Amino acid sequence: MRTTLTFTAAALATGALALGLTACGSSGSGSSASGGDTSGPLVVAASPTPHAQILDYVRDHLAKKAGLDLQVKEFSDYVLPDTATEQGEVDANFFQHKPYLDDFNKKNGTHIVPVVDVELEPLGLYSHKAASLAALHDGASVAVPNDTTNEARALSLLADNGLIRLRSGTGQTATPADVTANPRHLKFKELEAAELPRSLDDVDAGVVNGNYAIQAGLNPAKDALVLEKAAGNPYANFLAVKKGHENDPRIVTLARLLNSPEVKAYIDSTYKGAVIPAFGKAA
């Protein structure tokens, strides 16, 4: 079963938690997390690409043999999967990295924990107007994600490639206010991450999360002007649950399947470097 849920930024602003409960509860396919039943279907929230696609592969090719009834619910934003997991409307989620989760838990009082790393989607700088970094003109507009961790990640990518310099120590909390050198006088436009691919016609360049790039038909390995390096990257995406559910037998089974040779082969053959296997125990 695969349910697609799409929400606007305006709706999120009116109350993401309440909306998450209503949206998930209305689907007619409830989770067993809140009741402690570990014998029913395992319902996992995921963003469409590549997370839901990977879960669909597991469901269609591996889960039945492992005795797992896996159901996938798609969410198009970065808020509702965690609120739904916190409230027990889904059993788990798969869409995020550790810096984002740490920030989300801190700001929202949630108790989501990582279970197992699965893959990395390299963040990239894309442009419909410039064919290279050198072609970005003085005063160019650059769109970046507006959530705390992904904005810092985007600015770090620009800094690593010599476009800007960031104040020392800002790390995973950097914002445009922390730019200490901007020789090309880049102008930053902060947007919701899901909107970034659509913004590329309106700005000179944009830093886009890997899942949204793929969903928009961009190939990070080929289309990005610059791309994050995989080595030592802290932004691996993982399976996550509400604290206390890590040892649910269904979660243990799904974690094993997500780190299987079959899933590695699927990621390698399907995404050809745009998504990279990053298996192992989550940080």
Determine if the peptide bond prior to 122 is cis (ω within 30°).
Answer: no
Cβ 160 vs Cβ 183: under 8 Å: no
More confident position, 123 or 7? 123
Give the pLDDT score at 28. 36
Fold assignment, 124-227? D-Maltodextrin-Binding Protein; domain 2 (3.40.190)
The phi-psi region of residue 15 (left if phi > 0; otherwise alpha if psi is between -120 and 50; otherwise beta) is left
Mean pLDDT of the chain: 87
What are the structure tokens assigned to 4, written together? 């697609």
Cβ 205 vs Cβ 143: under 8 Å: yes
- 2-122+233-281 homologous superfamily: Periplasmic binding protein-like II (3.40.190.10)
Mean pLDDT check: name the lowest of 18-27, 62-71, 82-91: 18-27
**What ranges do the domains of the chain cover?**
2-122+233-281, 124-227
Mean pLDDT check: name the lowest of 30-39, 179-188, 220-229: 30-39
Mean pLDDT check: name the lowest of 4-13, 75-84, 136-145, 215-224: 4-13
Q: Which of 125, 133, 181 is nearest to 154 (CA)?
A: 125
Please determine whether the domains at 2-122+233-281 and 124-227 fall in the same fold group of CATH: yes
pLDDT digits (tens, 9 = 90+) for 98-156: 999 999 999 999 999 999 999 998 899 999 999 999 999 999 999 999 988 899 999 99
The whole-angstrom distance between residue 102's C-alpha and the CA centroid of its chain comes to: 13
pLDDT digits (tens, 9 = 90+) for 42-61: 999 999 999 999 999 999 99
Q: Which of 175, 110, 166, 105 is nearest to 146 (CA)?
A: 175
